[in-house]
Amino acid sequence: MKLFTIAKIEIKKSFKATLLLSLFMCLFVIMIIAIFDPEIFAGFEEIMEAYSDIIKTMVGSAFDLGTIGGFYTVEFLSMIWLWLGIYFILKAGQDIPTTIENKTIDLVLSKPLKRREFILGRYMRFIFSILLVLLFIGIVTFIMFEISPNLQDQEIDYSELFWALTWAFLFVVSLTTTAFFFSVFLNRKRAISLAFGMMVLFFIMGNFYGYFEEDIQEIKRISLFFYYDPARILVSHSYENVLRDFLILFGYSVVMVITSIAIFNKRDIPV
């Protein structure tokens, strides 16, 4: 199919940048795991308890700095929207506008190519990039968990780590899809601005809904952040509603991509 050809071309173009991002994030993960000390960081829980509820809600439903799962969640997974989300929002938000502004889209759409194939091909590049980055992060994390001397007394459930990273993948994809959606009908600046605005709005609604009036707290259910809580797996060791949250994040991305195709098909782009 032509969309796979487009995806292959776009993946090749961004492959070097994806590898550099993977390298940077792997080094960051190595640093996080290397500095973990269960005796030292367990004491920080008392300090964290003294913080306001606003600060504590930012790290998820539970935290446990005395275990590697809890520490990894607080320092990395709970902030994945910052470490990876912002990068991919920037890239996805300017994807389609860039092809329009530099006129390369004229050449592409003048060929016997359906617009949905063009959109899906471009979108698959981001899916592959996110998957590759998190794959490298997962491999490095597994290796560090095995060889780090400071983790010898830690009980590590690798299946929990796998599902937590899968959750992170679905969450970053959903943030990226939001930016990609805006890119199909807005210029570069507006698409990125709206994507960041939506992320901030989702963040506030998904984390701080408890501070809203009781009759509007259900607004949390339209936030992507409400459906992302890796601490539930790595700290509480619970899979309650995890499948539901996986399906909602996946379904959101699918709906947004389908809507993006519908909008782009009707967009007037003379070639």
What is the 8-class DSSP label of residue 8? Answer: H
DSSP assignment of 109-156:
HTSS--HHHHHHHHHHHHHHHHHHHHHHHHHHHHHHHHH-GGGTT---
End-to-end CA distance of the chain: 22
What is the 8-class DSSP label of residue 103? Answer: T
| Distance of alpha carbon 154 from alpha carbon 125, whole angstroms | 37
| Distance of alpha carbon 102 from alpha carbon 110, whole angstroms | 15
Domain ranges of the chain: 2-266
CA 33-30-163 angle, 5° bins: 70
| Distance of alpha carbon 232 from alpha carbon 242, whole angstroms | 8
Phi first, then psi, for residue 232 (nearest 5°) are: -60, -35
Q: How many CB atoms lie within 10 A of CB 28?
A: 15
The closest alpha carbon to 144, from 31, 42, 25, 20, belongs to 31
Length in residues, the chain: 271
Tens digit of pLDDT at every position of the chain (271 positions): 577 888 888 889 899 999 999 999 999 999 999 988 877 666 665 555 555 555 555 555 566 777 888 889 988 999 999 999 999 999 999 999 988 887 777 666 667 778 888 899 999 999 999 999 999 999 999 999 999 888 877 888 899 999 999 999 999 999 999 999 999 999 999 999 999 999 999 998 988 887 788 888 899 999 999 999 999 999 889 999 999 999 999 999 999 999 999 999 888 765 5
pTM metric for this prediction: 0.91
Q: How many CB atoms lie within 10 A of CB 101?
A: 12
Is residue 75 a contact partner of residue 247, using CB atoms and an 8 Å limit? no
Place of tokens 């004229």: 106
